[in-house]
Amino acid sequence: MKDAPSLETLFIHAGQGHEWPRQYPTAPAIIPSTSFRTQSPEIMDAILGGDAPGFTYSRHANPTVKAFSEAVRVLEGGAVAQAFSSGMAALDAALFAVGLNPGDRLLLSRDLYGATMTLSEQVWGTMGIHVETVDVTDLERTEEALLRLRPRGLVVETLSNPLMKVPDLSRLIALAHKVECQVIVDNTFATPVLVRPLTLGADLVVHSATKYLGGHGDAIGGVVVAHQGYESRLHQYVKIRGSVLSPFDAWLLLRGIKTLGVRFERQCQNAAHAADLLLASGRFHRVYYPGLPDHPSHWTANTLFSGRGYGAVVTVDVPGGRARIFHLLSRLTLVGSATTVGDVYTLCLYPSIASHRNQSAEALQAMGISDETLRIAVGLESVDDIVDDILTALD
Ligand SMILES: Cc1ncc(COP(=O)(O)O)c(C=O)c1O
């Protein structure tokens, strides 16, 4: 008898059945009710006081939303999970959950999604939090920054957006914990299919569920999964700030998760194949994909992801920069030009006008993002068709 079901089984069943002790529907239920009637005021008192489980008002908790967060909790191997209206709301909640106070320091990976950087620097930074960035793939520099700043939190991505750099998570977490710094890992690009950061000691894991968890480009949401001890701050955040996930979106995201395993496995294979073809075409100054031996994170990715894949994003440097990329984007027919990743559709994004638009020229240069950088989020179409569309549009 196995101790626990495998991930493939959990994708299908996690999060379902908890509110239905005797029988439950095969497909999860959408419960859009804003409030819940209780049989007695004593029951309502107990639920609102946190002395009994249950539902009173959907800004506090909702069964469909809970089913979604419970599914991600199980997949990420955490003790608690809280869903939010977007990935950004989830990141903001994770920063709140680590207990930042004025005067505290916050250390960020230099290679974060642009809006995460803006949130940290321009929202938390104006509230008396000192924010610094460091290249987390350079452990020596990161250790120096940790010892110098003794930050309350460190924010990293398992696969950075858009250059797909991979930090050595286990060693990074150990270094952070030496100075009592809590580690927030944005696992959006890797998903629990490749790695489960909480099992490596991370304190909180964040997802933009909008991406691979949902997978179909039809719902925006976010989720934080954490170890014991973070529940009350995460719950307080959603109750008071009100950044709740809608039950309809929770249902779509939960439905997406059921095929996450097969979708993501195939998308990783497609991306690896596309990276090979784009490289072989000789048409790009550089192709960035951690599955390629010349990617700076190739060996770290091999260890961290143990051969399960290297993610589904391939980034290229297009000779000719902005003018040529605008030409390419306007001529694509199959591949879309859109600002997201993780969908079943292949989508291209030009980071310098989109995800990293608000970053300074110096910050972009330090990250290695130039006006030639083009991100390709590989979907489920035939790889030959995807690459053919891109190369034809480039001509
Ligand atoms: C790595 C990463 N984290 C967080 C977010 C924010 O997610 P959302 O758009 O759901 O707020 C994004 C969005 O692109 C992202 O790429």
Query: For atom 10 of ligand 1, which residue has the closest CA?
Result: 87
Predicted pLDDT at 27: 86
**Of 24, 59, 233, 322, which residue is the catalytic one?**
59
**189 and 283 co-located in one domain:** no
> Nearest to residue 390, comparing CAs of 215, 165, 379, 216?
379
Q: Cα(178) to centroid of ligand 1, in Å? A: 29
How is the beta sheet containing 373-377 ordered, strand by strand?
A: 286-288, 313-317, 373-377, 347-349, 336-337
Q: Cα(175) to centroid of ligand 1, in Å? A: 26
Query: For atom 16 of ligand 1, which residue has the closest CA?
Result: 113
Query: For atom 6 of ligand 1, which residue has the closest CA?
Result: 87
Range of the domain at 334: 260-394
Helix-helix angle 231-241:87-97, to 10 degrees: 130
**27 and 164 co-located in one domain:** yes
**75 and 137 co-located in one domain:** yes
> Nearest to residue 64, comparing CAs of 255, 215, 239?
255
**282 is a domain residue:** yes
* Average pLDDT across the chain, whole number: 96
**332 is a domain residue:** yes
**27 and 129 co-located in one domain:** yes
**Residue range 340-361, pLDDT digits in tens:** 999 999 999 999 999 888 888 9
Cβ contact 347:336 at 8 Å: yes
**Residue range 233-246, pLDDT digits in tens:** 999 999 999 999 99
- Answer yes or no: 113 catalytic: yes
In single-letter form, the type of residue at position 106 comes to L
**298 and 377 co-located in one domain:** yes
**1 is a domain residue:** no
Please give the average per-residue pLDDT across 110-130, as a whole number.
95
Q: Which atom of ligand 1 is nearest to the CA of 161?
A: 1
Query: For atom 12 of ligand 1, which residue has the closest CA?
Result: 208
- At which residue do the structure tokens 């006006």 appear? 371
**253 and 270 co-located in one domain:** no
Query: For atom 14 of ligand 1, which residue has the closest CA?
Result: 340
- Answer yes or no: 110 catalytic: no
**In terms of pLDDT, which residue wins out, 87 or 19?**
87
**208 and 306 co-located in one domain:** no
Q: How many helices (H) and strands (E) does the chain have?
A: 15, 12
CA-to-CA separations, 86 to 65, 220, 238, 282, 388, in angstroms, rounded: 13, 6, 12, 39, 34
- Answer yes or no: 230 catalytic: no
Cβ neighbour number for residue 255 with a 10 Å cutoff: 17
> Nearest to residue 92, comparing CAs of 124, 60, 65?
124
Q: Cα(341) to centroid of ligand 1, in Å? A: 9
Q: Taking the model in full, what pTM does it have?
A: 0.96
Predicted pLDDT at 19: 65
> Nearest to residue 148, comparing CAs of 181, 186, 118?
181
How is the beta sheet containing 153-157 ordered, strand by strand?
A: 80-84, 222-226, 204-208, 182-186, 153-157, 105-109, 130-134
Alpha-helix residue ranges (DSSP H) falling in the chain? 7-13, 41-48, 63-76, 87-97, 114-118, 139-149, 169-178, 191-194, 231-241, 247-258, 260-280, 298-305, 321-331, 361-367, 383-394
> Nearest to residue 160, comparing CAs of 359, 365, 375?
375
CA separation for the pair 144, 323 (Å, rounded) = 41
pLDDT band at residue 20, thresholds of 50, 70 and 90?
Answer: low
CA separation for the pair 345, 217 (Å, rounded) = 8
**Residue range 369-391, pLDDT digits in tens:** 999 999 999 999 999 999 999 99
**Residue range 64-86, pLDDT digits in tens:** 999 999 999 999 999 999 999 99
**364 is a domain residue:** yes
Decide which of 258, 282, 299 is a domain's last residue: 258
**Of 104, 168, 186, 249, which residue is the catalytic one?**
186
Decide which of 229, 258, 287 is a domain's last residue: 258
Q: Which residues line ligand 1 (CB under 6 A)?
A: 86-88, 113, 116, 157, 161, 186, 188-189, 208, 210, 220, 222
Decide which of 199, 233, 258 is a domain's last residue: 258
**123 and 205 co-located in one domain:** yes
**295 and 210 co-located in one domain:** no
Q: Which atom of ligand 1 is nearest to the CA of 188?
A: 1
**What is the separation, in whole angstroms, between the first and last Cα of the chain?**
58
**186 and 198 co-located in one domain:** yes
**184 and 41 co-located in one domain:** yes
Predicted pLDDT at 358: 85
- Answer yes or no: 218 catalytic: no
- The pair phi, psi for residue 223, each rounded to 5°, is -155, 145
Token pair belonging to 291: 């599955």
**Of 104, 113, 168, 249, which residue is the catalytic one?**
113
Q: Cα(338) to centroid of ligand 1, in Å? A: 14
Q: Cα(93) to centroid of ligand 1, in Å? A: 14
**2 is a domain residue:** no
Tell me whether the omega of the peptide bond preceding residue 162 falls within 30 degrees of 0, making it cis: yes
pLDDT band at residue 1, thresholds of 50, 70 and 90?
Answer: low
**355 and 377 co-located in one domain:** yes
Cβ contact 367:136 at 8 Å: no
Q: Which atom of ligand 1 is nearest to the CA of 91?
A: 4
Q: Counting beta carbons within 10 angstroms of the beta carbon of residue 179, is it exposed (0 to 12), middle (13 to 18) or buried (19 or more)?
A: middle
Which are the contacts of 58, defined by CB distance < 8 A and separation ≥ 6? 33, 34, 35, 65, 244, 247
**Does residue 22 carry a pLDDT above 80?**
no
In single-letter form, the type of residue at position 82 comes to Q
Domain count, the chain: 2
Q: Cα(259) to centroid of ligand 1, in Å? A: 20
Q: Cα(51) to centroid of ligand 1, in Å? A: 35
Per-residue burial over 63-78, b = 16 or more CB atoms within 10 Å of its CB, e = otherwise: bbbbbbbbbbbbbbbb
**Of 105, 165, 211, 375, which residue is the catalytic one?**
211
What CATH number has the domain bearing residue 218? 3.40.640.10
> Nearest to residue 355, comparing CAs of 340, 345, 366?
340
Query: For atom 8 of ligand 1, which residue has the closest CA?
Result: 87
**Residue range 319-340, pLDDT digits in tens:** 999 999 999 999 999 999 999 9
What CATH number has the domain bearing residue 330? 3.90.1150.10
Q: Which atom of ligand 1 is nearest to the CA of 189?
A: 1
Measured in whole angstroms, the distance separating CA 39 from the mean position of its chain's CA atoms is 40
| 72, 113, 123: residue to mutate for ligand 1 pocket, most atoms within 8 A of CB | 113
